[in-house]
């Protein structure tokens, strides 16, 4: 080997970023240090003069892994390559995590003369890994569902809470996109707003209606945030959510109770007045037709007096069911009070309103209660006139109902115009 080559090897040894130490091969003497580069001295805190002639057992301490040391000794004894990781101790007593390998060195005749070890302090790497593991465990332990996706929205992590809420296992969702949870309850504008917010580097917060593995829907308050690297480039997205299905159900139940009649399940008068008022404003604004029916069960007081309130309640529920099943799905049926009902028919002229009212009347007449027997219905109909108020429309329908009642009941009367007498078009039957 030339002098220049020796100089190169020496420079490489002394200037190496990795810590390098060379020991002899004397097992009985404990493999004493002969050379160590500056990186090794800096890592251990020992000067070369303090290390030379000593064994590296001086770096071991209470937390040094005995199993790793046993493996090390076996490799040295058999002159085999060794690689391992354990905890060593610096001169000042501070511990560090070292990953190192040892290779046997032989002379030209193959005789073992030395061991050379290349070492690296990986304490920061281990600490970061432990912190990441702790973070992952913390995210997994939180009761709120957490989802992490890459920049292409592919799922890389979900916690146990998320799996519990959705019914999917971690393996079933990893690599897929959150689109798999879409329920169809949100329109394209909702998702455009989501993408625009994230593309601008902003959080997106909303209540999502998502679909579980079993097909059921759940409500989730969700916050989605972009995660950026040191250069500000988005690398991931993190979503933290809260299952609010129970709260939404309670709110919907309260809303239903506030807007529906408890006995019949129909809309109550308060809701009906609000709905009718809005419908009339819309009809006037857009030039739409609107027809109102006011219905009253004939001789209902006699039903209560003769058969009792339980029978009366049953009749009310049965008539409510007939009304609801006879009209269109978009029509609003209201229990106005007592035995009186309102049916709001939007986009409905007088003629089809009359046909529908007659259908209702006939179906009620055909119904037979086990105790009460036949029940009949009287109806008043009024079609909205230009500039007519809600109060005026109801008054005309009420006037028509009064005419039907006094005209013999079980009939439909139609209000023509304000000030004109209602026209009775149906005669009582049976």
The angle, 0 to 180 degrees and rounded to 10, between the axes of the packed helices 390-406 and 269-286 is 110
User: Could you say which of 251, 257, 339, 399 is catalytic?
Assistant: 339
423 catalytic per annotation: no
Residue 113: its H or E element: strand 112-121
| CA–CA distance, 333 with 268 (Å, rounded to integer) | 9
Residue 155: its H or E element: strand 155-158
Q: Does residue 82 contact residue 102 with C-beta atoms inside 8 Å?
A: yes
| CA–CA distance, 126 with 132 (Å, rounded to integer) | 10
Residue 67: its H or E element: helix 66-77
Q: Which of helix, strand or coil describes residue 93? A: coil
Residue 340: its H or E element: strand 340-346
Q: Which of helix, strand or coil describes residue 187? A: coil
Question: What is the SS3 string spanning 219-241?
Answer: EEEEEEEEEECCCCCEEEEEEEE
Give the Å distances, CA to CA, from 246 to 162, 218, 262: 16, 9, 22
Going by their DSSP bridges, the two strands 155-158 and 290-297 should be labelled as unpaired
Q: Does residue 52 contact residue 33 with C-beta atoms inside 8 Å?
A: yes
Position of tokens 């009359």? 354
Q: Does residue 103 contact residue 113 with C-beta atoms inside 8 Å?
A: no
Q: Does residue 424 contact residue 407 with C-beta atoms inside 8 Å?
A: yes
Handedness of CA 62, 67, 68, 74 (dihedral sign): positive
- DSSP lists the bridge partners of residue 337 as 340
Going by their DSSP bridges, the two strands 204-211 and 217-228 should be labelled as antiparallel
Structure tokens given for 249? 């159900």
Give the Å distances, CA to CA, from 50 to 17, 32, 35, 92, 182: 21, 12, 11, 13, 67
Give the Å distances, CA to CA, from 29 to 22, 32, 99: 14, 7, 24
| CA–CA distance, 316 with 337 (Å, rounded to integer) | 11
Positions marked active-site: 339
């Amino acid at each position: 080997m030339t002098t220049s080559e020796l100089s190169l090897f020496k420079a490489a040894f002394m200037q190496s970023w990795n810590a390098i130490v060379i020991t002899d091969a004397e097992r009985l003497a404990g493999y004493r240090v002969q050379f160590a580069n500056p990186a090794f001295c800096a890592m251990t805190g020992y000067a070369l003069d303090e290390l030379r002639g000593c064994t590296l057992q001086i770096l071991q301490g209470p937390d040094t892994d005995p199993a790793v040391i046993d493996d090390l000794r076996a490799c040295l004894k058999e002159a085999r390559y060794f690689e391992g990781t354990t905890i060593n101790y610096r001169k000042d007593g501070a511990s560090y995590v070292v990953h190192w390998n040892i290779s046997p060195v032989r002379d030209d005749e193959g005789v073992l003369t030395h061991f050379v070890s290349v070492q690296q302090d990986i304490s920061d790497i281990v600490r970061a890994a432990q912190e990441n593991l702790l973070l992952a465990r913390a995210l997994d332990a939180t009761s709120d569902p957490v989802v992490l996706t890459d920049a292409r929205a592919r799922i890389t992590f979900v916690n146990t809470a998320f799996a519990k809420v959705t019914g999917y296992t971690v393996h079933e969702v990893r690599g897929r996109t959150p689109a798999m949870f879409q329920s169809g309850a949100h329109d394209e504008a909702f998702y455009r707003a989501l993408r625009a917010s994230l593309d601008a580097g902003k959080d997106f917060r909303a209540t999502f209606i998502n679909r579980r593995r079993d097909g059921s829907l759940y409500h989730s308050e969700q916050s989605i945030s972009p995660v950026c690297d040191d250069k500000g480039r988005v690398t991931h997205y993190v979503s933290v959510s809260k299952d609010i299905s129970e709260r939404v159900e309670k709110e919907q139940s309260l809303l239903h109770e506030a807007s529906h009649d408890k006995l019949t399940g129909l809309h109550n008068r308060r809701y009906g007045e609000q709905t009718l008022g809005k419908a009339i404003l819309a009809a006037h604004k857009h030039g739409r037709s609107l027809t109102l029916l006011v219905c009253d069960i004939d001789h209902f007081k006699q039903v209560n007096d003769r058969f009792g309130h339980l029978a009366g309640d049953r009749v009310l529920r049965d008539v409510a069911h007939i009304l609801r099943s006879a009209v269109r799905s978009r029509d609003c049926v209201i229990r106005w009070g007592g035995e009186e009902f309102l049916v709001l028919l939007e986009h409905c002229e007088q003629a089809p309103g009359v046909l529908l009212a007659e259908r209702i009347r006939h179906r009620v007449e055909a119904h037979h209660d086990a105790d009460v027997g036949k029940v009949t219905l009287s109806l008043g109909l009024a079609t909205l006139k230009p500039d007519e108020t809600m109060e005026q429309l109801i008054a005309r329908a009420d006037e028509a109902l009064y005419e039907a009642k006094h005209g013999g009941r079980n009939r439909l009367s139609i209000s023509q115009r304000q000030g004109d007498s209602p026209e009775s078009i149906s005669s009582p039957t049976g």
